[in-house]
Every structure is written in structure tokens, then in C-alpha cells.
Structure 1
Amino acid sequence: MTEIRNHKIPVYAVFFTVLVKLLFLLTHYIQEDAFITWRVAQNLLDYGVIGFNGNDKISASTTHLYVFVSYVFNLIFGKENFIEPLLIFNSILFTTGTLFLSHLLLKNTWHKALFIFLIGILPPAIKISILGMEYGILFFLEMMLLYYGFGKSKKWAQIILPVLIIFTRIDTVIFLGIVFVIDLLWNKKIRWFYILGGILGTAGLLAFNWLYFGEIVNNTIVAKKLAYDKYYTFHQNLDHFIQNFGNFWGMLKLPGDFNPFTIVLLMFEWLCFIYLIRQKDKRNFFLWVIFIFGWIKQLIFLSQKSMFDWYYWIPQILLFVPVLLFVLEQKEKRNLWLALLIVFYSIPMLVFQTVHAIATGNGEWNYRRTIGLFLNSYEKDKSQWIFLEPAGYVPYFSGLKTIDEVGLVDKNVQDEIRKDKKKFWINTIKDRKPKYLLSYDDLLTSENAEYIKLHYKLIKEFRVKDHLKSDHFILQKIYILKPSGSDYNLYERID
């Protein structure tokens, strides 16, 4: 009976960790791009079309599976109440994923429980859980694949899970490919059911994109590549890598180009990894998978100038796993090692993420959301268009039809970029004549001021400084310490 209760300890750790992380819901720290996915889901609910603006089909979200999950939550809880249940669901899925990982790497139930909790309070783990992105589902599916597909050699997992993983994000072919290569080298055999799953997932996604959207890859990938494309020499590429890798391999971003903290962390992760794989253990297969994947995923995305930090959350967590294993499995002075880890790493990281979440949540939810709410009450005709960047909070809460400057939610912008990248912005305005413009800049003094003055008027200024006040002493200090957001100017067409 005692043994049965002990086996439940990691499950209790899952629930406890989720409860701790749910406190972060109070910060309202939700990623801008999550609202793009949620608007796509609601567009499907309202128009029966996967799109962003009415009946126009467009893969404005990076993830198809998460769009469907968001659609289901909107259907069940309603548009006004689905966010919190969905974030709780994401938190449960991610933390359950850490439970699968603990079963693959640890034997002692108390070690598993500590592993689940210590991973769960890392900054990227908190962000995966509460920022509204698809990575909670993705982490759950990937760890489930390792646990059932390769830990227990379940054929159903090898077929079904790759399909779900690829439909969550197309770039997961990196993860699936690395698992296949390491498994082939490790076991000297081919898992044909796994190959079948990969083929079904890849062919199914590409066929769905082509038949439904008339494109091979998601529009978001095409749009970002087109908008952010820039020629770099070899030395510029090298400088770019040196300047940016520190803030993506580490778990906290520091001001400036160079983050020495990350160097120390990377060295310790490597030392722990080498120490662990020298022990002859069947779990080494999974250690190789997660460590090689962590490095390759980061290298590929950083080399492609992918600066959005959510691409790096899962690799950051997986690269840190050997550190946790090393500390938990120390036979001598384990308590000392654990105390050092918690006092000098876990607690400072948790404090850092708490401050960051409170400050950024204020800048996003309490500030940027108010722009959308203002427009929602100011403009009753939801068929009117707004031209802005980015396409998250403001379009979602305003309900207006949207043109974004990258072309994520409107393909016509991409045509303008192809024709004349330098003048695509003003050309889009002249051609489409959106009723509203939202800009970081003072358009009445810009290079296009002559046209703007003739056709638009400034109706409201939104300033970050107006949202850095709180009756709570600690919140007031945090808002001033780390102001979050950008100043905006809102213009309305006058002809």
C-alpha cells in the first residue's frame, strides 16, 4: 500500500506545480501572438473559415492543432470566458509532459517529484504554461512520444503522435528527425511505424495547406521570411550570432548584446551531460535525444535570424535537464547541491520571471489591450479596416478587420512588399484606404506626412507612462523598474 502511494507522489507533484504556476495568471502576461491564434479560432466559429478577416481563408496562425483546440474551448466556454480554462489546460499538459520525462530519466519517486517542480518553475516553463502559445500542447506531445513511442515501444504512439506534433508546428520535423536518427544509431534498426507516422503527418499537413489554403507551407512562414529577409555577409552573420546567442540559450535576457551568465550555464550543462552519459544506462538514449535536439533547434533558428524567444523555450528547458539530474542523483552532499541550486538559481530565476511577468502583463493587458477596447467602443462598424503592427491585442479586442505590416493576416501586404519593399507601407495605405492607422511614429511629421495630413487626422495618443501607476507599492516599483510597451498614435481617415 505504501509503495502504491509513493508511486503517486510524482502525480501529486504535477498538481502542486500547476497550482503554483496558476498564480501567474494574475499577472495577465499573455503573448501577443496567442491572440492571433485565438482570433483565427473565433473566425472559424463565426464564419466557418480558418482565417482572420471574415470569409478570407489564410493560415494566419503558425499552428493548426492549437487553432482547433482554441476553437473547442471557445465553443465550450464562450468568447468571454475561454482564456483562463485554456491556460489552465496548457499548464496541465506541459506539467504532465514533465511527468513523462521524469519517468524516462529517473527511478526514485521523490526525485521525480522534485524534478517536475524544479522544471515547472523555470522561466520558459512558466511562459509555456501561461502565455497562451501552443508550446504546452507541443511539449506534452513530444514527451508523450518519447515515453510511449520509444520508452514503451507502443506502435500507436509512433503513428499517431508524429501526426499531431507536425499539425501543431511544421518545424517539429526537426525534433522528429533527430529522434529518428538517434534511434537508428542507438538501436541499429528502423521503426517502420514511426516512419509511417512521420509520412502521414508531413503529407497530411502539406495536403491540408494546399487543398484548403492553396499553399504548401503556412502563410506565417512565408510572410516573416519576406518581411524580415535581409542579406548578411559572413562576418555580419558571425557578429549577429555572437550578439544574440547569449540571450536565447540562457533563461533570462539581460540588457546588451553579451550575456556572460549564459556562458557559465552552457558550460555547466555540458559538464553535467558528459558526466551522466558516461554512466552506462538505457536512459542515455533519451539524454542524447533531448540534448542534441536542444542544440540543433537553437542553432537552426538563430542562424535563420529567428528572434522570437518562444522558439527557444523548449530547447532551454531540455538543455537544463542534465543539470537537474546531476544534482538530484548526487550520492554525497545531495542536500547541499540541491540547496545551492535552489538558492542561487531556482529562486532568483523565479523572482526574475515574476517581476518580468508582472511588468510585461501590465504593458500588454493593462495598456495595449486598452487600445483595442477603445477602438471597440469608438468604431461600431466592425467591417472597417485598421493597418498596424503587430496583429494581436488590438485587432482581437477591437474586432476590426485588420491589415498587418508583416502580412501575417493579409496576403496583399506581401504583394506590396514584393513590388516595392521600401514603399510598401504607404502604397498599401493608398491602395486599401484603411479607416484607421496605428503607428509607433508621428505620421504627421514622417516622410509620408504630406499624404497622411490630407487623408488622416490624429484622434488619440496612447502612452506607456500613463500606465505605470498602481495603488500597490510593490507593483508601482515593478512598473517603474521595468516599463513595458510602446507609445502609439491612432489616426482616422477623414475622406
Structure 2
Amino acid sequence: MAEIKNHRIPVYAVLVTILFKLLFLLTHYIQEDAFITWRVAQNLLDYGVIGFNGAEKISASTTHLYVFVSYFFNLIFGKENFIEPLLIFNSILFTIGSLFLSNLLLKNIWHKALFIFLIGILPPAIKISILGMEYGILFFLEMMLLFYGFNKGKKWALIILPPLILFTRIDTIIFLGVVFIVDILWNKKIRWSYIFGGIFGVGAVLAFNWFYFGEVINNTIAAKKLAYDKSFTLEQNLKYFIQNFGNFWGMLKLPGNFNPLTVILLIFEWLCFTYLIRQKQKRNFFLWIIFIFGWVKQLVFLSQKSLFDWYYWVPQILLFVPVLLFVLEQKEKRNLWLFLLLLFYIIPMLAFQTVHSIATGNGEWNYRRTIGLFLNSYEKDKDQWIFLEPAGYVPYFSGLKTIDEVGLVDEKVQDEIKKDKKNFWINTVKKRRPKYLLSYNDLFTSENAEFIKLHYKLVKEFRVKDHLKSSNKILEKIYILKPSGSDYNLYERID
């Protein structure tokens, strides 16, 4: 009986970790892009179409599976009440995924419990759980594939899970490919069920895109590649790498171009990984998978100049796994190692993420959301259009039809970029005549000021500094310490 109870300890760790992380829901820190996915889900609910603006089909979200999950949560809980249940669901799935990972890498139940909790409170794990993105589902599915498909040898997992993973994000082909290569090199055999699952998954996603949207690759990928396309010299590439180095491999963003903590962490991760794989254990198979994947994923996205930090959350966590294993399995002075890890890394990271979540939640939920709420009450005709960037909070809470400057939610913008990238913005305004413009800039002093003054009036200025106050003095100090958001000007068409 005692042994059975002991086996439940990692499960208890899952529950404790989930409850602990739910405190971060109070910060209202939700990623902008989550609201794009949720609006697509609600568009499916209202119009029966996967789109963003009424009956027009468009793959405005990078994730098909999460759109359907969000659709069902909207259906069950209603548009006003689905967000918190969905964020809790994401947190549960991620933490169960960490349970699968602990079972692959550890034997001692107390080590598993500590592993689950410490992984769960790392900054990227907190963001995966409560920012509303699809990575909670993705981490769960990927770890489930490793546990049931490659540890337990379940054929159903090898066939069913790859399509689900690919429908969550198409770029997971990197993860599936790394697993395939390591498996062949390690086991010297081909798992035909896995090959079938992978081929079926790729075929199903591409077929769905083609027959439903009339495209092979998601619109979001095409739009970002077009909008953010840059030709850099070798010197510019090196400068770009140095500027963004800490964002890719570190777990925190510090001001400045170089983060020495990132270098120390990188070296320590490599040392721990090297130490562990020299032990010749069965789990090395999974260590090779997660470590190679972590590096390949980050290098691929770095090479494509992908700045969005959510691309790096899962790799950041997996690359840190060897550090935790190394510390937890020390036979001598384990408590000292654990104390030092907590004191110099885990607790500072948790403190940083807490401050970051509170400040950014204020800038997003208490500030940017108010712009959408203002427009919702100001403009009752929801068939009117707004032209802005980005297409998250403001379109979601305003309910207005939306043109975004990247073309994620409106493909016609991409046509204008292809024709004349330099002048696509003003050309779009002239051609589409949106009723509202929301801009970071003062358009009355821009190069297009003459046209804007003739056809638009300034309705309201939204300023970050107006949202840095709180009755709670600690919160106010955090808001002032790390102000989050951008200043906006809202213009309305007058003719």
C-alpha cells in the first residue's frame, strides 16, 4: 500500500504545480496572438467558417488543432467565460506532459516530483501554461508520443499522434524529423507505423490547407515571410545574432546586446548533457532527442530571423532538462547543488517572470484591451473596418472587421506588399477606405499627412503612461519599473 501511495507522489506534484501556476492567471498576461486564434474560433462558431472577417476563409491562426479546441471551449463555456477554463486546460496538459518526460528520464519518484515542479515554474513553462498559446497542447502531445510511442512501443501512438502534432503546428515537422533520425541511428530499425503516421499527418495537413483554404502552407507563414523578408550582409547577420542571442537561448530578456548569463547557462547545459550521456543508460535515447531538437529548432528559426519568443519556449525547457537531471541525481552534496540552483537560477527566474507577467499583463489587459473596448462602445456597426497592427487585442474586443499590416488576417494586404512594399500602407488605405486607422505614429506629421488630414480625424490618443497607476503601491512600482505597451493614435474617416 505504501508503494502504491509513493507512486502517486509525481501525480501530486502535477496537481501542486498546476495550482501554483494558476496564481499567474491573476496577472492577466495573455499573448496577443492568442486572441487571433480565439477570434478565428469564434468566427467558426458564428459563421461556420475558419476565418477572421465573416464568411471569408483564411488561415489567420498558425494552429488548426488549437482553433478547434478553442471553438469547443467557446461552445461549452460561452464567449464571455471560456478564457480561464482554456488557460487552466493548457496548464494541465503542459504539466501532464512534464510528467511523461519525468517518467522517461528518472526512476526515483521524489526526483520526478521535484523535476515536475521545477520544470513547471521556469519562465517558458509559465508562459506556455497561461499565455493562451497552443504550446501546452503541443508539449503534451510531443511528450506523449515519446512516452507511449517510443518508450512503451504503442503503435496507436506512432500513428495517431504525429497528425495531431502537425495539426497543432506545421513546423513540428522538425521535432518529428529529429525523433525519426535519432530512432534509426539508435535502434538500427525502421518503425513503419511511425513513418505511416508522419506521412499521413503531413498529407492530411497539406490536403486540409489546399481543399479548405486553397493554399499548401498556412497563410500566417506566407504573410510573415513576405512582410519580414530581409536581405542581410554577413556583418548585419552577425550584429543581428548578437542582439538577439539572449532571447533565443536564455530564459529572460535583459536590456542590451549581450547577456552573459545566457553564455554561462549554455555552457552548463552542455556540460550536464555530456556528463549524463556518458553514463550509458537507456534514457540517453530520449536525452539525445530533446537536446538535438532544442538546438535544431532554435538554429532553424534563428536562421529565418524569427523574433517571436514563443518559438523558443519548448526548446528552452528541453535544453534545461540535463541541468535538472544532473542536480537531482548527485549522490554527494545533492542538497547543496539543489540549494545553489534554486538560489541563483530558479528563484531569480521565477521572480523575474512574476514581475514581467504583472507588468506585461497590465500593458496588455489593462491598456491594450481598453482600446478594443473603447471601439466596441464607440462603433456599433461591426461591419466597419479598422486597419492596424497587431491583430490581437483590439480586433477581438472591438468586434470590428480587421485589416492588419502583416496580412495575417487579410490576404489583400499581401498583394499590396508584393506590388509596392514601400507604399503598401497608404495604398491599402486609399484602396480599402477603412473607417478606422490605429497607428503607433502621428499620421498628421507623416509623409502621407496631406491625404490623412483630408480624409481622417483624430478620435483619441492612447498612452501607456496613463496606465501606470494602481492603488496597490507594489503593483504601481512594478508598472513604472517595466512599462509595457505602445502609444497609439486612433483616426476615423470623415468622408
Q: Same fold (TM over 0.5)?
A: yes
Match status 1:291 vs 2:291: yes
Q: Give the structure 1 partner of residue 181 of structure 2.
A: 181
Within a 5 Å distance, the mapping from 1:428-447 to structure 2 comes to 428-447=428-447
Distance 2:237 2:473 in 1: 45
Q: Deviations over 1:269-307 (max 9, x none)?
A: 000000000001000000000000000100000110000
SS in structure 1 of the partner of residue 434 of structure 2: coil
SS in structure 1 of the partner of residue 56 of structure 2: coil
Q: Give the structure 2 partner of residue 475 of structure 1.
A: 475
Within a 5 Å distance, the mapping from 1:209-248 to structure 2 comes to 209-248=209-248
Within a 5 Å distance, the mapping from 1:361-372 to structure 2 comes to 361-372=361-372
> Would you say the 8 A contact 1:426–1:448 is kept in 2?
yes
Letter matched to residue 430 of structure 1: K
Q: Deviations over 1:466-486 (max 9, x none)?
A: 000000011010000000000
SS in structure 1 of the partner of residue 483 of structure 2: coil
> Would you say the 8 A contact 1:460–1:490 is kept in 2?
yes
Cα deviation for residue 246 of structure 1 reads 2.0
Q: Give the structure 2 partner of residue 349 of structure 1.
A: 349
Letter matched to residue 438 of structure 1: L
Within a 5 Å distance, the mapping from 1:142-221 to structure 2 comes to 142-221=142-221
> Would you say the 8 A contact 2:59–2:220 is kept in 1?
yes
SS in structure 1 of the partner of residue 124 of structure 2: helix
Q: Give the structure 2 partner of residue 29 of structure 1.
A: 29
Q: Give the structure 2 partner of residue 259 of structure 1.
A: 259
Distance 1:384 1:472 in 2: 39
Distance 1:476 1:397 in 2: 25
Q: Give the structure 2 partner of residue 404 of structure 1.
A: 404
Letter matched to residue 116 of structure 1: I
Cα deviation for residue 240 of structure 1 reads 1.5
Q: Give the structure 2 partner of residue 14 of structure 1.
A: 14
Q: Give the structure 2 partner of residue 460 of structure 1.
A: 460
Distance 1:258 1:346 in 2: 21
Cα deviation for residue 233 of structure 1 reads 1.8
Distance 2:386 2:344 in 1: 47
> Would you say the 8 A contact 2:246–2:252 is kept in 1?
no
Letter matched to residue 406 of structure 2: V
Distance 2:231 2:348 in 1: 39
Cα deviation for residue 237 of structure 1 reads 1.8
Distance 1:309 1:100 in 2: 25
Distance 2:433 2:73 in 1: 35
Q: Deviations over 1:200-247 (max 9, x none)?
A: 100000000000000000000000000000111223222222221222
Distance 2:310 2:401 in 1: 27
Distance 2:420 2:39 in 1: 29
Cα deviation for residue 404 of structure 1 reads 0.1
Distance 1:255 1:487 in 2: 20
Identity across the alignment (%):
85
Cα deviation for residue 164 of structure 1 reads 0.2
> Would you say the 8 A contact 1:51–1:57 is kept in 2?
yes
Q: Give the structure 2 partner of residue 310 of structure 1.
A: 310
Distance 1:298 1:8 in 2: 35
The 4+ residue runs of structure 1 with deviation greater than 3 A are none
Cα deviation for residue 93 of structure 1 reads 0.1
> Would you say the 8 A contact 1:241–1:303 is kept in 2?
no
Distance 1:413 1:427 in 2: 9
Distance 1:367 1:217 in 2: 34
SS in structure 2 of the partner of residue 190 of structure 1: coil
Cα deviation for residue 343 of structure 1 reads 1.2
Distance 2:174 2:475 in 1: 41
> Would you say the 8 A contact 1:459–1:492 is kept in 2?
yes
Cα deviation for residue 340 of structure 1 reads 0.8
Match status 1:393 vs 2:393: yes
Match status 1:108 vs 2:108: yes
Q: Give the structure 2 partner of residue 427 of structure 1.
A: 427
Q: Give the structure 2 partner of residue 72 of structure 1.
A: 72
Distance 2:367 2:242 in 1: 34
Distance 1:213 1:241 in 2: 35
Q: Deviations over 1:97-137 (max 9, x none)?
A: 00000000000000000000000000000000000000000
RMSD value over aligned CA atoms? 0.5
> Would you say the 8 A contact 1:13–1:116 is kept in 2?
yes
Distance 1:406 1:280 in 2: 49
> Would you say the 8 A contact 1:139–1:314 is kept in 2?
yes
> Would you say the 8 A contact 2:436–2:492 is kept in 1?
yes
Q: Deviations over 1:5-59 (max 9, x none)?
A: 0000000000000000000000000000000000000000000000000000000
5+ unaligned residues in a row in structure 1: which ranges?
A: none
Distance 1:337 1:231 in 2: 46
Q: Deviations over 1:126-177 (max 9, x none)?
A: 0000000000000000000000000101000000000000000000000000
SS in structure 2 of the partner of residue 245 of structure 1: helix
Letter matched to residue 359 of structure 1: A
Match status 1:272 vs 2:264: no
5+ unaligned residues in a row in structure 2: which ranges?
A: none
Letter matched to residue 177 of structure 1: G
Distance 1:88 1:247 in 2: 26
> Would you say the 8 A contact 1:245–1:302 is kept in 2?
no
> Would you say the 8 A contact 2:209–2:217 is kept in 1?
yes
> Would you say the 8 A contact 2:102–2:116 is kept in 1?
yes
Distance 2:86 2:93 in 1: 10
> Would you say the 8 A contact 1:49–1:56 is kept in 2?
yes
Cα deviation for residue 257 of structure 1 reads 1.2
Distance 2:182 2:438 in 1: 49
Distance 1:333 1:71 in 2: 50
Distance 2:106 2:414 in 1: 49
Distance 1:233 1:194 in 2: 41
Distance 2:280 2:62 in 1: 40
SS in structure 2 of the partner of residue 387 of structure 1: strand
